[in-house]
Structure 1
Amino acid sequence: MEFLVDMVTTVPPGTTDGEIADMRAREAVRAAELAAQGHLVRLWRPPLAPGEWRSWALFQADDADQLETALASMPLRVWRHDTVTPLTPHPSDPGSAGRLSGTGRP
């Protein structure tokens, strides 16, 4: 299954620049691991308000429980609120293998 995850991070007041840099570095390592495992498929930065930390991510997981395990393994999760939207294929998806091969239904 694919899931779109809207991730909004709020850094706690009083957090030092060094703590933020460490957290971001650990998050980048974990994101790379999840990508290598096939769970983190894409990552986008939407338009941001001043001081806002927000990302949109496309995840692949067997089910919601496996997705939650992946999200919970990310260091920034302690500062982050995630909104998860399960995605289902659209019959007119131009990226669908069946549609591209001529076997899909419009």
Structure 2
Amino acid sequence: MQFLVTMTTHVPDGVSAETVEEVRGREAARSRELAAEGHLLRLWRPPLAPGEWRTLGLFAAADEVELEKVLASMPLRIWRTDEVTPLSPHPNDPALGG
């Protein structure tokens, strides 16, 4: 199954810039691993307001339980909320070759 995930990050007040950069570095490394495993298919950054931190991701997982394990493995999850939308195929999808 594929899932569209809106990931919104809110770094708590008082967290040092060094800590934020360290966690973001680990997030980037984990994202590369998830992509290599076939779980993370795409990432997009929508238009953002100043101070807003949001990402849209297309993920693949067997089901919502596996997806939750994937999302929980990402370092930014400590400061992030995720809104998950399960996706189903559309009959007119050009990728289906129909």
SS of residue matched to 1:4: strand
Matched, 1:94 2:71: no
AA partner of residue 64 (structure 2): A
Aligned equivalent of 1:10 = 10
Structure 1 stretches of at least 4 aligned residues deviating more than 6 Å after TM superposition: none
Task: Give the Å deviation of 1:92.
Answer: 0.6
Task: Give the Å deviation of 1:94.
Answer: 1.5
Aligned equivalent of 1:42 = 42
Aligned equivalent of 1:60 = 60
RMSD: 0.6
Inter-partner Cα distance in structure 2 for 1:47 and 1:60: 24
Aligned equivalent of 1:21 = 21
Inter-partner Cα distance in structure 1 for 2:93 and 2:66: 25
Inter-partner Cα distance in structure 1 for 2:23 and 2:5: 20
Task: Give the Å deviation of 1:3.
Answer: 0.1
Q: How is 1:61-80 mapped onto 2 (pairs within 5 angstroms)? A: 61-80=61-80
Listed as ranges, the gaps of 5+ residues in structure 1 are 100-106
Aligned equivalent of 1:51 = 51
In terms of Rg, which structure is larger? Answer: 1
TM-score, with structure 2 as normaliser? 0.98
Matched, 1:31 2:31: yes
TM-score, with structure 1 as normaliser? 0.91
Q: Sequence identity, in percent?
A: 60
SS of residue matched to 1:95: helix
Inter-partner Cα distance in structure 1 for 2:81 and 2:48: 16
Higher RCO (C-alpha 8 Å, min separation 6): 2
Task: Give the Å deviation of 1:83.
Answer: 0.1
Task: Give the Å deviation of 1:51.
Answer: 0.4
Inter-partner Cα distance in structure 2 for 1:8 and 1:16: 19
